Chain A
Amino acid sequence: MTEERKFLEAIAEILEMEVEEISLGTDFRSEVPNWDSLKGFSILVMVEEEYGKKISVDEFLKMDTLGEILQVSLGKEIVE
């Protein structure tokens, strides 16, 4: 399984969506139905556990797409 697929499956489970409904380009705050802070927090917990990367709430608030979360999770700079 690719890194991207593994990441999106974990995200889909947290968002209670099908993995086919999301992509790295998904703007999670505006495109995810019933988006709330609990889902956001669950993503931070998942990233810390699966990728060993602690994302602060301030950092998270600057991110818009799932792709940005993956880049930071993998320790890369965000490419706009």
Chain B
Amino acid sequence: MSIANLDKVAILGLSASVPPGEIDNREFVREMFGENSLNVVDSTGIAKRRVVGEGVTALDLCVDAARTLIERLAIEKSEIGGLIFVTATPDHLLPNNASQCQEILELPRKLAAFDVNLACSGYPYGLWLSGMMAKSFHKKVLLLDGQSHSQYVSPEDHATSLLFGDAGSATIIGESPKSDPWYFLFETDGSKKGVLTIPEGGYRNRVSKNSLEYQILEDGGKRRGIDLYMNGLEVFAFASTSVPKLLAELLRETSTEPSDLDYLVLHQANLYMMKRIAKRLKIGMEKVPVSLDRFGNTSSTSIPLTIASELQNEVTGKSIRIAMEGFGAGLSTGAGIIQVGPCVCPGVKVYGT
């Protein structure tokens, strides 16, 4: 069985930070693609989303969330032994975000710090790695998960331009002798690497003069080589078949009935997609919190952002059992069943306020 099992760890606190700049998607779509395209806003469920301004990155949003959380948890920084930064939108190709955050957050130098390059599937991976690290060091681990995909999305690409929002989050994981076990299951299909990709700007297809030129697309849209590309139908096919199957397997193998779960926190990709996944798992939408109407698809950050925005009172006041599933570029899927709360959850902060 390929299920990962972690016991005696807990989320001690979780917070999120979003940028102040808000886009009304109806206005955006009307301006970019005309009145006839407005139904796309309804089917995605993304009425509004927030994007970073010039000079702000996912790192800044995560640092903001981490500062709030560390202060509210009132822990000593010396208690933190590890920092994991999940992002596909790092400040630099080198060095990683995690090392920079050691300095910015004034964390101890005896710190294991690294980035995990994952997009929408990243948060379950981050929790799993953080839990293992906390047990190994017998120290707390700071998990930062932030993405600012809006910065490399073409505003004239019909498939992607209205989907992505930016956000950062911070989660602190520590040992907890009485906690219920956590379970994770992951799936990877590299043969589908091309369906969700930023083709140029890395080391394989290095940035060139041509990468900055907008290419005209079949549907009249435009995109550069350094912008995010998504084959929407392929991604939907993956989301409506493999994604629910993986979580169904995790539920079955851990003898978890949908009624044992308080919530299913899905990656906030697209509302219609989320409804299809929940339907296939026979879980009612009343158990599926939705935040994408205000924040858009924030990639891996959408899971912690949804917990902070929709379940803040729940996780602050009591212990709840949640299943979660992130899925996207790779193609990569991460599913988890964890117990959360009562823990510190300051909710969602607007960056710079």
Contacts and interface: CB of A to CB of B under 8 A. Distances in A.
Interface residues of A, number: 12
A38 B39 contact: no
A11 to B, nearest CB: 13
Interface string B35-49: 000011011000000
Give the most central of A16, A34, A38, A41: most B CB within 10 Å: A38
Contact of A41 (B42, B240, B275): B240
B288 interface: no
A41 B233 contact: yes
Nearest to A44: B237
Contacts of A33: 39
Contact of A34 (B42, B233, B236): B42
Interface string A22-37: 0000000000011011
Interface residues of B, number: 16
A71 interface: no
A6 B319 CA distance: 40
B42 A38 contact: no
B8 interface: no
Contact of B272 (A13, A38, A45): A38
Most buried by A among B42, B237, B273: B237
B252 interface: no
B43 A38 contact: yes
Contacts of A14: 276
Contacts of B270: 38
Nearest to B237: A41
Contact of A36 (B43, B241, B275, B276): B43
A44 to B, nearest CB: 9
B241 A37 contact: no
A29 to B, nearest CB: 14
Contacts of B276: 14, 42
A38 B236 contact: yes
Contacts of B43: 34, 36, 38
B279 interface: yes
Interface string A1-16: 0000000000001101
Given A13-B279, A38-B43, A45 B241 contact: yes
Contacts of B236: 37-38, 41
B282 to A, nearest CB: 12
B123 to A, nearest CB: 24
B39 A37 contact: no
A38 B233 CA distance: 7
A42 B272 CA distance: 10
Interface in B43-74: 43
A41 B233 CA distance: 8
B239 to A, nearest CB: 9
A58 to B, nearest CB: 14
A77 B153 CA distance: 45
Contacts of B237: 41
Given A37-B236, A38-B272, 8 more contacts: A13-B279, A14-B276, A16-B275, A36-B40, A38-B270, A38-B273, A41-B233, A41-B237
Which 9 A-B residue pairs are closest in the complex by CB-CB distance? A34-B39, A38-B236, A45-B240, A37-B233, A34-B43, A41-B236, A38-B272, A42-B276, A36-B43
17 contacts: A14-B276, A33-B39, A34-B39, A34-B43, A36-B39, A37-B233, A37-B236, A38-B236, A38-B270, A38-B272, A38-B273, A39-B272, A41-B233, A41-B236, A41-B240, A42-B240, A45-B241
